[in-house]
Structure 1
Amino acid sequence: MAFSNNITRAMKPFQALPKGLRQRALSLIFGRVVPYVGTSGLLYEEITETRVVVSVKNRRKVQNHIHSVHAAAMALLAETASGFVVGVNLPDDKLPLIKTLKVDYTRRSSGDLRAVATLSQHDINRIRNEPKGEVLVPVVLTDATGEQPVNCEMLWAWTSKKRS
């Protein structure tokens, strides 16, 4: 039996849609769950148990004073992709929490941005089976030139939803 949680069950009805329509529909739904994500116009391009790809267009609502994607929007993009790859693997009785969000800005970005967060099968097994823990989620954020304007490190924890 395949792993199932609130996120995977919410995604299931949209799997038969064409890719572009599915991406927009899921982005709209998840943007309502996390309003800041919706306001920023993030697009969920790919969601699997091992990889989540999220992008943002370089539009006015996410720009800084030099017309590139704002530093906070870059951090949001990386945090969203990494949190989602953890969340898609997390049992319903667990809560994901960001512990460390490290973003080193190395160069000016150009155009739209894309974040790819991945998990190993070992980390997925830990998230699904350990009552609590933490995992460092690799995230690669690239711009329209294919370069990485930032280096990211996202440390996520999970714990029981019920307080002891």
Structure 2
Amino acid sequence: MNLKQQFGKARKSSFHLWLLNAGLLHAVPFNKPHGIKIVEINDDGVLVKAKNVRNNQNHIKSIHACLLATLCEYVSGLSLLTALNPKEYRIILKNIQMTYHYQAKTDVFAAFGLTDKFLNEEIITPLQQEAAIFKEFTVEVYDEAKNHICTGLINWQIKAWKHVKTV
């Protein structure tokens, strides 16, 4: 799946957005039971949604902390994979740090995007000098009422495939 091409089509077409979501659920089977969906792709980035359904709830009927962390990882990872060529660069989650602010009792949303300037100055140029870099991104999750549910600090290792020792 050429993510950059699929994202371009999905920006303009609800059908292609549906196809992209279906393809991603197949490509990332861990996320399938949670039903994480891309709801919008625009110039600012990607907006994803997780529903407040039984599969996503904890013992007190709010959205589980692990799903909120997954949502932050998913949206930042998708943005990276779309901005970088997955055939040239590998991304691996190094660590994730979550701070929870408010209990999520409704559907939740996370948005994330990368500017071309940031991508070139902070990722592409350093990767021309180094085998791998680590980049930490902040992702905020909000509920339908715009309550700030949590903040995720997502640290990714980005490495050119030519420098990967294990395949």
The two structures share one fold, judged by TM-score above 0.5: yes
CA offset at residue 78 of structure 1? 0.7
Residue aligning to 1:26: 20
1:19-67: CA deviations, max 9, x gaps?
Answer: 3x33332111111111112221011112357512110110111111111
Question: Among 70, 91, 99, which residue is 1:76 paired with?
Answer: 70
**1:28 is aligned with what amino acid?**
A
**1:118 is aligned with what amino acid?**
G
Aligned residue for 1:75, secondary structure, equals helix
Structure 1: runs of 5 or more not aligned: none
Q: Distance in 2 between matches of 1:113 and 1:65?
A: 18
Aligned residue for 1:81, secondary structure, equals helix
Residue aligning to 2:150: 150
Contact in 1 for aligned 2:83/2:114 (Cα 8 Å) = no
Contact in 2 for aligned 1:118/1:138 (Cα 8 Å) = no
Contact in 2 for aligned 1:41/1:56 (Cα 8 Å) = yes
Q: Distance in 1 between matches of 2:54 and 2:94?
A: 30
Give the number of equivalent residue pairs. Answer: 158
Q: Does 1:116 align with 2:111?
A: yes
Contact in 2 for aligned 1:81/1:116 (Cα 8 Å) = yes
Residue aligning to 1:135: 135
CA offset at residue 16 of structure 1? 5.2
Structure 2: runs of 5 or more not aligned: none
Contact in 1 for aligned 2:7/2:82 (Cα 8 Å) = no
Residue aligning to 1:87: 81
Distance change (3 Å), C-alpha of 1:105 and 1:13: closer
Higher helix fraction (1 or 2): 2
Aligned residue for 1:88, secondary structure, equals helix
Identity of aligned residues (%): 23
Moved more, 153-162 or 6-15: 6-15
CA offset at residue 9 of structure 1? 2.8
Q: Distance in 2 between matches of 1:148 and 1:14?
A: 27
1:126-152: CA deviations, max 9, x gaps?
Answer: 434524323222312101221111121
**2:18 is aligned with what amino acid?**
R
Distance change (3 Å), C-alpha of 1:9 and 1:119: closer
Q: Does 1:7 align with 2:12?
A: no
Contact in 1 for aligned 2:109/2:141 (Cα 8 Å) = yes
Contact in 1 for aligned 2:7/2:20 (Cα 8 Å) = yes
CA offset at residue 153 of structure 1? 1.1
